[in-house]
Structure 1
Amino acid sequence: MSRQENVENMEGIEMTGPANDIPPLSDQEKRILEVYDKLEELQVEIALLKAQGVISSRDFPEEVTDEDIRKAEKDLLESKANCSLRSKIIENVVIANPMLKAVHAGNNASIIEQDLLPLIEKRDIFSEKLAQMSNKLQSSREELMKESSENTITGRKNIELATQMLALAKETSSQGKEDIQDSEVRAQLDELEKEMKKSKQRWRIMKNTTSAVIVGSGIDWARDPKLLEIVLDDDEDQ
Structure 2
Amino acid sequence: MDDDERMEDLEEAGEPPLALSDAERQILEEYDKLHQMDLEIAIIKAQKAYKSAPADDSPDALVAAQEALLQARSRYKLRNDAVELVVIANPVLKAVHGGTNASPIDRDLLPFIVQRDDAAVDAARSATQAQATRDALTDVQVETLRACRRNVQLTSRVFELAAQLEARKAVDWDGGEEALRVRDEKRKWRAVKGAASGIVAGSGVDWASDEALRDMVLDPEDDD
Distance in 1 between residues matched to 2:145 and 2:68, nearest whole Å: 51
Deviation at 1:164, TM superposition (A): 4.1
Cα distance per residue 1:153-209 (max 9 Å; x no partner): 5666666279549826853761339x6842232223222332233233322xx79xx
Deviation at 1:150, TM superposition (A): 5.2
Given the alignment, which residue of 83, 87, 92 partners 2:80? 87
Larger Rg: 2
1:116 partnered with 2:109 = yes
Distance change (3 Å), C-alpha of 1:133 and 1:195? same
Given the alignment, which residue of 12, 25, 31 partners 2:26? 31
Distance change (3 Å), C-alpha of 1:165 and 1:88? same
Residues 30-109 of structure 1: pairs in structure 2 closer than 5 A: 30-44=25-39, 46-47=41-42, 64-66=54-56, 70=61, 73=65, 77=69, 79=72, 81-104=74-97, 106-109=99-102
Deviation at 1:51, TM superposition (A): 6.6
Q: Is the 8 A contact 2:19 2:105 kept in 1?
A: no
Structure 2 counterpart of 1:32, one-letter code:
I
Structure 2 counterpart of 1:190, one-letter code:
A
Q: Which residue of 2 aligns with 1:176?
A: 170
Distance in 2 between residues matched to 1:132 and 1:184, nearest whole Å: 64
Deviation at 1:114, TM superposition (A): 2.0
Deviation at 1:46, TM superposition (A): 5.0
Q: Is the 8 A contact 1:166 1:192 kept in 2?
A: no
Q: Is the 8 A contact 2:20 2:105 kept in 1?
A: no
**Where does structure 1 lack aligned partners over 5 or more consecutive residues?**
208-238
Cα distance per residue 1:61-86 (max 9 Å; x no partner): xxx43179x59957973555544432
- SS of the residue corresponding to residue 168 of structure 2 reads coil
Distance in 2 between residues matched to 1:165 and 1:65, nearest whole Å: 63
Q: Which residue of 1 aligns with 2:194?
A: 193
Q: Is the 8 A contact 1:170 1:176 kept in 2?
A: no
Aligned-pair identity in percent equals: 30
Distance in 2 between residues matched to 1:146 and 1:53, nearest whole Å: 52
Deviation at 1:49, TM superposition (A): 6.6
Structure 2 counterpart of 1:34, one-letter code:
E
Deviation at 1:38, TM superposition (A): 2.7
- Per the normalisation by structure 2, the TM-score is 0.59
**Where does structure 2 lack aligned partners over 5 or more consecutive residues?**
174-178, 207-224
Distance change (3 Å), C-alpha of 1:105 and 1:141? same
- SS of the residue corresponding to residue 5 of structure 2 reads helix
Distance change (3 Å), C-alpha of 1:157 and 1:195? farther
- Per the normalisation by structure 1, the TM-score is 0.56
- RMSD over aligned CA atoms reads 4.5
Count of residue pairs brought into register by the alignment: 194
Cα distance per residue 1:28-59 (max 9 Å; x no partner): 11011122123334444555676788799x7x
Comparing 47-56 with 78-87, which one deviates more in the overlay? Answer: 47-56
